[in-house]
Structures are given as structure tokens and as C-alpha cells.
Chains A and B, each alone.
Chain A
Amino acid sequence: MKKGAVKALFIRNIWDENQVLRQILGICSLLAVTNQLTNSLVMGIGLIFAVALSSLTISALRNYIPHRVRMIAQTLIIAAWVILFDIILKAVLPDISRALGPYVGLIITNCIIMGRAEAFAQMNPPLESLLDGVFAGLGYTIVLVIIAFVRELLGFGTILGVDVNFIGFETWTIMVMPPAAFFLVGVMIWIVNNVVARKQAGGGKRG
């Protein structure tokens, strides 16, 4: 791997092409899980694992997968990893498995995994694909955590389940419901797009 490539991959996945804010992927799970910080962290970690391992496998097999059935093959590999993870979790860490409940299965349907497989893993070597997956998942997790922090604080008056509502603040029910995630993710996208646009415009003037 070339020098600086890791850093470039990192910056691209966290900021320039952030899966949620720039590519608008993974929104469905974001709406569902971000009303509690714990759930968001767990979902983020699960996704990092799933996307990294799927990307690694798909990349390793990329020269053998026929183009016509590549999506079927990708889905199969993603599902296999997630189910494997689910079985092991149930057997080894039953408490965590119960807390995750239906999340683990939901990871299969996260479009970010398929997105990385299609856009990166199928034409890049395994190690790069693994890192790309980890960083893409990390970019998703960061957005999840920011939104969950705001939603849990305003919706429940808690952070990670700990009551921090010392001033008797009237919590907003809307923050608990999925629409709040739409508002917040919309605001975040708007801010990030503005920053990026400014940067590009400024760079244009100078250069």
C-alpha cells in the first residue's frame, strides 16, 4: 500500500465522502436507532465489523466473481458474515445479543455495505478494502453518535441512559420519534454541504 494511502482513505470516508452526510446512505437504520446513544454505538460497531469483513471477502474473491451475479454473491457474503456474527454473539455474549435484538439482522440490509462492495471492494486489493470498510463504518458511526446525543438528550433527558436532566427540562417527544432524525440529519447535511461549498469556492478564488 502506498504511503499516505491510509490517511487519504480515512479522510475520504470520514469527511469528503461520508456515507451518511455526502452519499445519503444508511438513512433507514439511522432513523431507527439514533434515539438512544447506546443503541447507536452498538449499531455502529456492528456495522464496522460487517462492512470491513464483507469488503475484505468480496475483494479477495473479486477476480473470481462473475460480473452477472456479483450482487447476489455480495449479498450472500454480507449475510453470511452477519449471521455468523449473530450466532457467535448468541452463544458467547447472550446478554449483549439480547440487547441488540433485531439490530444484528438489520445490518444485512444496510446499504453502506453493498455500497462499499460495489464502489470499492470489487476493484481494490483486500487490505485497502478492509480499511475502506472500517473507515466507512466509522464515518457512519460518528454521524449516528452525534445525532443520538442530541436526540437522547432532548427526547429523554438522558445520556447513555444516565439521567442528566437536572433543571427539570420538559423533554421533547418528537425527538424520540423518527422525524427528529430527519430534521437533524437534514441540518447536518446542510451544514456540511455549506462548509464544503465554501471551501471549494475559496480554493477556486485563490487558485
Chain B
Amino acid sequence: MNKDSYVYTIVFTFVLTAFFATILAVTQAYFLPAITENETKVERKAILKVLGLPEDALPTFDEQVVPALASDLNIYATLDADGEPLGYAFPLDGQGLWGSIRGYIGISAEFDRLLGLEFIEQNETPGLGGRIDEAWYKEQFAGVPLAQGQAIAYGDGLDSITGATSSSNAVLGILNATIERVMTEHKEVLAK
């Protein structure tokens, strides 16, 4: 058979593509439940972390954390023994330098300070912007005071990442936008 004929080339390309696409599709389908479970775990760990709860609370996640609003199921609250909220977790979502950054922020029940910041997805440059996912960077946001109409800025105990100004600023922008949204849309409803 002539290997360079059009028919062979087309048939070969078609068969090769179909073969590998099938393998990938089957693998993806087979592992999908495990992947989804892992992703849920990561998300739940992030929620626990921003609410200041220990990571080993994961098996009892549904007892520790409840959806705070019927209208938006991505907002979570942790309650004390009397059912009073201790803090809220809000999803964080925005554009980083290279791709979307998603995560959660924790805000105190009085809406006066940040409890924590965690990322569940980011595509910043590894070793540079990717360092936003390092513990020291995220931990410095815990306890930052919040005031209406006053944006959080670097300096005074809050460091950006050397060599990754764009990613650092992107995080700050997303954070401030999220806080702004929380303050205008959710604070009134939740504080009731």
C-alpha cells in the first residue's frame, strides 16, 4: 500500500486521532468521579480554612458549615452553639495575570475584618505569581480590618510578591471587588 497516497494519509490520521481520543475519553470518564471528589475536597478545605476551622473538620463539613443564604448556595456560614453566625465564607472569582483565580474569603460575622483567604484555582507563573498560593502570603490577609468604601492595599504588614507585581495586584483587585460586592449585596441581608 502506498504510504504517501491521499487515501492512506486521511485514513491513518483519522484512525490515529480516533484511537487516542477514545483512550482519553474513556480515561476521563473512568476517573471523573474521583476527580470531582478531589475538587470538592479542595473547595471544602478552602472554606474551612477561611472560616478559621481546622482542616480535619472535613468529614463533618456539613455539620460545621451551612449555606448562609437560600438565594446563593456558594455562601457559607459557621455557627456557634446557639446558631449565631461566627463568620461567613464568600467565593472569590476574577482574572489573574494569565488565567482565572478562584477561591474563598472568610469575613467575620460583624463584617469588620477578614478571617482568611484561600485559592482553589490559579494559573499564575509557577515560582513567581504562583507564589500567591504559599501560606505566608495568604495568612497575612487574616485579621485585616474592613471598612466600607476603604480598599485594602499593600504596605503596613501586607506584602506583595517580589517579581510578581501583576499577580499580586490582580489578587488585591479581586479581593477588593469581592469585598465591595459582599458589602453592598450581602451584608444587609446576612446581618438581619
Give A contacts to B, CB under 8 Å.
Answer: 32-33, 35-36, 39, 61, 64-69, 72-73, 76-77, 80, 83-84, 87-88, 90-92, 94, 98, 101-103, 173, 176-177
* Cβ-defined contact, B35 with A90, below 8 A: yes
B34 touches A91 (CB 8 A): yes
Q: What DSSP secondary structure best describes chain B's contact surface? A: helix
18 contacts between A and B (CB under 8 A): A33-B127, A35-B127, A61-B16, A64-B3, A67-B3, A67-B4, A69-B13, A72-B13, A73-B16, A77-B16, A77-B20, A80-B23, A87-B24, A87-B31, A94-B42, A101-B122, A101-B130, A102-B123
- For residue A83, which residues in chain B have a CB less than 8 angstroms away from its CB? 24
- Within the complex, the shortest CB–CB distance from A180 to chain B, in Å, comes to 10
Query: Please, how many angstroms separate the alpha-carbon atoms of A129 and B4 in the complex?
Result: 24
Tell whether, in the assembled complex, residue A87 and residue B27 are in contact, meaning their CB atoms are under 8 Å apart: yes
Q: How far is the CA of A80 from the CA of B19 in the complex (A)?
A: 10
* Inter-chain contact total with CB atoms closer than 8 Å: 79
Contact across chains for A76 and B16 when beta carbons are under 8 A apart: yes
Residue from B4, B12, B126 in contact with A39 in the complex, judged by beta carbons closer than 8 Å: B126
In the bound complex, residues from chain B placing their C-beta under 8 Å from that of A66 are 3-4, 8-9, 12
Contact, CB under 8 Å: B126 / A33 = yes
Is B155 part of the binding interface, using a Cβ–Cβ cutoff of 8 Å?
A: no
With both chains docked as a complex, state the minimum distance between the C-beta of A203 and any C-beta of chain B, in angstroms.
Answer: 41
Structural contact, B24 and A84, CB atoms closer than 8 A: yes
In the complex, residue of chain B having the shortest beta-carbon distance to the beta carbon of A34: B127
Query: Judging by beta carbons under 8 Å apart, are B9 and A68 in contact?
Result: yes
Give the residues in chain A near B9, CB-CB below 8 Å.
Answer: 66, 68-69
Distance of B124 from chain A, by nearest CB (Å): 9
* Shortest beta-carbon distance from A150 to chain B in Å: 14
Question: 9 additional contacts, CB 8 Å, given A36-B127, A67-B3, A101-B123?
Answer: A61-B16, A66-B3, A66-B8, A72-B13, A84-B23, A90-B35, A102-B99, A103-B126, A173-B163
- Pair B127/A176 contact, Cβ less than 8 Å: yes
Chain A residues within an 8 Å CB radius of B123: 101-102
Q: Which residue of A lies closest to B41 (CB)?
A: A94
- Give every chain A residue within 8 A of B3 (Cβ-Cβ): 64, 66-67
Interface centre among B34, B41, B98, B123 (most CB of A within 10 A): B34
Bound complex: CA A33 to CA B125 (Å): 9
Residues of A with C-beta under 8 A to B34: 91-92
- Please, how many angstroms separate the alpha-carbon atoms of A35 and B128 in the complex? 8
Q: Is the CB of A176 within 8 A of B126?
A: no
Chain B residues near A98: list those with CB within 8 A.
Answer: 42
- A32→B38 CA distance, assembly (Å): 28
Given contacts A32-B126, A90-B38, A102-B126, contact A173 B24 (CB under 8 A): no
Residue of A nearest to B32 (CB): A91
3 A-B pairs with least C-beta separation: A91-B31, A94-B38, A80-B20
Q: Is B60 positioned at the interface, with any CB of A under 8 Å from its CB?
A: no
Interface-centre pick from A32, A65, A66, A72 (highest chain B CB count, 10 A) = A66
Complex interface: chain B residues within 8 A of A36 (CB): 126-127
Contact B127–A32 (Cβ < 8 Å): yes
Whether B162 sits at the interface, judged by CB under 8 Å, is: yes
Query: What chain A residues lie within 8 Å of B42 (beta carbons)?
Result: 94, 98
